[in-house]
Amino acid sequence: MASLTQILLLSCLLTHIASITPASSDYTPKLSKPIPDYVSGTISNKNTLNLIDSCWRTKANWENNRQALADCAVGFGKDAMGGKYGEIYVVTSPADDPVNPKPGTLRYGVIQTQPLWIIFSKDMVITLKNELIMNSFKTIDGRGAKVEIANGPCITVQGVSHVIIHGISIHDCKPGKAALVRSSPSHVGHRQGSDGDAISIFGSSHVWVDHCFLARCTDGLIDVIHASTSVTISNNYFSQHDKVMLLGHNDKYSADKIMRVTVVFNRFGAGLIERMPRVRFGYAHVANNRYDEWKMYAVGGSANPTIFSQGNYFIAPNNPDSKEVTKREAKGWSNWKWRSSNDVFENGAYFVQSGYGSCYPFYTPSQSFKVSPGASVPALTSNAGPLPCVLGKLC
């Protein structure tokens, strides 16, 4: 009679064989109307509100209760409050002074010690003179204006908690220089310089990044490192970049074992190469995302992370050598828990599974959400990126 271990291994093998069976090779993309004009040459599908968007986008008076957005996250970043219990702070100027920021600027708002919900009085492009260091209990809410942080250093979330970044474009970010930068009203510190990430989440918790556009930065688009955890990355549009998303500092930083990240309802668009995400040590639930292409691979990792790919929509590139969704950056990975469930594989894409035993996320009841089948993803991600919200109308 077969042992329990033999049964589990056989089950894993059968699942693995099913997962690497390529889809039909006669794939032809179906074009429809373009998404909003901050990305060109892309396609959209019938508008269907996903679980996050249906929480707030059905209300025409959303601008009268902006803080209600804080109740709408799912996954590990569900409890991120941002500035939910704070006052509204209005950014009126795109100017920046890293040492002595002026009232009305973005930097002045994000460094305050009290909770703040930060909004914008008008469209603006903010070119920061050095990295923007956020304090705890802050929301950056771009709804109602077209807001870009671009062509300079970008956002650092370091050693803080309860941060929400919503509805802005962050692109063409450059490294920050070694210099004095203010991180609170009472503290100015000498920084060693930033790498040029769009958003760097470093030693922080309860962070939610939603409905942003991220592209063309010097280093990564989103890094979650140095034992950061309780993070949700959702409804974002990624485009034109090499190393997209890094979860975990390096292969020796075992403190990242506590990391828990949900990556959901995102659109990985044209011109991306790798790391969607790349994971080390921790746990990543990658669910209901659309992958339009990749040059090297989509989901990768090292140092024995756990990755649960659920209900995603993978469209492989035409290059026959790049059809595999996954890449392990180390040897001896057969016991790593990397699983695929209800994913859709187009144009020959395939996912190589490994390990055995449960890899479900074990969310708390408030964090838990229903993951749709992969076939629903083109509709669920059709509004990824900043939304063209108009005051007094449905967004």
Active site positions, annotated: 275
CA 338 to CA 299: how far, in whole Å? 10
Distance of CA 273 to the CA centre of its chain: 16
Angle at alpha carbon of residue 239, lines to 25 and 173, rounded to 5°: 155
Please report, as a single letter, which amino acid is at residue 319. Answer: N
d(CA 372, CA 332): 32
Distance CA 128, CA 135 (A): 17
Residue 313 buriedness (CB in 10 A; 0-12 / 13-18 / 19+): buried
Distance CA 285, CA 324 (A): 19
From 180, 172, 228, 164, select the one nearest 38 (Cα to Cα). Answer: 172
Distances (CA, A) of 19 to 23, 207, 339: 10, 32, 9
Cβ(195)–Cβ(187) under 8 Å?
no
Angstrom CA distances, 136 to 20, 76, 133, 157, 205, stand at 43, 18, 10, 9, 10
